[in-house]
Structure 1
Amino acid sequence: MEVVLMVVYENPWFRVMREDGFHFVDEPTSKQGAAVLPLVGNSLWLLQMHRPAQKMAMTLEVPRGYAHEGETSRRCAARELQEEMGLSIDPRSLQYLGKVRPNTAIMTACIDLYVARFHGDVVVGQRDREASGLASIPLERLPIWLGEGHVQDGFTLAALSYYFAAQRITAAASQVTTPVA
C-alpha cells in the first residue's frame, strides 16, 4: 500500500500534513532549533511570555527559537538568549543537555537543549520585546515553584529535567571511591 503524504495547510512557520488519515504539524526550521536554560549566579532566569494559544495571562519560559539558514542549534541558542534576555555568551561555552520532541504524536519538531551559566553580576544588554519581562527564581526555591505549577512550559521543563539529571550524575560520580589495594 502506498503512503500518501499531503500538505493540508502551510504558512512561513509550519505546515499541517496528512498521511493516511493522520494529521501532524511539520516545522521545517525546527531541525536546528534550540532552547537555553539561563543560570545567573544562583538563580534561573525565565521569560514572562503571553501565549494566546494558552489562554493564560502569562507563562514562564526559557528563551527558544529556530535557527536561521546555515545556523547551528548552538549559535541559535546564543542568539535567542541575547535577543530575548539581553545576555551575551560565546556559543562554545553553552553546555549541551539533550533533545526534546515536544509532542511526538502531532509534531515533527526536535529541539536541542542547552544551559548557559553566568556570574551573578552579569550585564544585561538590549533585548527584543517578545517577552513582557524577566523573572528570576533562586535555585533553592525552584523545586517549590515547580511543585506549585508556576512553570508549565514543556521546553523549560525538559531543559530542567536534563539539568537536574546531569547534576545527579555528577554528584554520584564524585562519590565513587576507588578500592584500596
Structure 2
Amino acid sequence: MEYQNPWFRVVREGAYHYVDEPGAQAGAAVLPLVGDMVWLLEMRRPAQQGAVTWEIPRGYGEAHETSQQCALRELREETGLLAAPAQLTRLGKVRPNTAILTSCIDIYLAKLPSNHPPHRRDREAERIVKIPIKALPRELAQGKLEDSFTLAALSFYWATLR
C-alpha cells in the first residue's frame, strides 16, 4: 500500500497503481425524479479546480448499510427529499473508472410525485438545479452533464424506463 486515508487507499501492484474505496461496497447514487423534474446538485469539487458540475446525490455506504439504505440517506441529506424504499428502483451499477478504481456503485431512480415536499438538506451542494427530464438530452449535448454517476443513471433510465 502506498497511501491510505479514511475514504480510500492507493495500492501498488508491480508497475500499476489503483485506488481501493472500501466504503463504496454499499455506496449508491440516486437519480431524483420529482414529477417530470430531475433534481441535480450543483457541486464545486476540489478535484475539478473550481469548476461547477451538476450531479445526482451519491455517497459511500455506512457500516451495516445496504446500497438501498445509502441511496435513501444520500437523497435525504443532499436534496431534502424523503423517499420510501418502494419509491426506489435499482437501475444497475457503474464502475466509474475501471483502470484505477475498484469501486462498483449501485444506481437507483427515486420516483416521487410532483407535489413531494423537500425537507432540510445539508449544504454540500451549492444549490439544487431542477430540470425537466425531457430537457436533459439538450443539457447533455451542451456539455453541462459530465459526472459519470449522473451519465450512468440517465443511460439506465433512458434504456429501461422511458
Fold shared by both chains (TM-score > 0.5): yes
C-alpha displacement at 1:121, in angstroms? Answer: 1.0
Q: Do residues 96 (structure 1) and 100 (structure 2) align?
A: no
CA distance in 2, matches of 1:150, 1:86: 23
Greater Rg by CA: 1
Match of 1:106 in 2: 100
Aligned residues: 162
Greater RCO, CA 8 A, separation 6+? 2
Q: Do residues 11 (structure 1) and 5 (structure 2) align?
A: yes
Contact kept in structure 1, 2:87 and 2:112, CA below 8 Å: no
Unaligned runs of 5+ in 2: none
Q: Scaled by the length of structure 2, what TM-score is found?
A: 0.97
Match of 2:78 in 1: 84
133, 137, 143: which is aligned to 2:137?
143
Runs of 4+, deviation exceeding 6 Å: none
C-alpha displacement at 1:11, in angstroms? Answer: 0.3
CA distance in 1, matches of 2:74, 2:17: 30
Match of 1:59 in 2: 53
Match of 1:71 in 2: 65
CA distance in 2, matches of 1:69, 1:167: 31
For 1:31, give the aligned amino acid: Q
Q: Do residues 124 (structure 1) and 122 (structure 2) align?
A: no
Q: Deviations over 1:15-44 (max 9, x none)?
A: 000012210000011011000000011111
User: Considering only aligned residues, what root-mean-square deviation do their CA atoms show, in Å?
Assistant: 0.9
CA distance in 1, matches of 2:140, 2:50: 17
CA distance in 1, matches of 2:4, 2:161: 41
C-alpha displacement at 1:135, in angstroms? Answer: 0.1
157, 162, 166: which is aligned to 2:160?
166
Range with greater deviation from structure 2 (92-101 or 79-88): 92-101
Q: Deviations over 1:107-138 (max 9, x none)?
A: 00000000001111111101011111000111
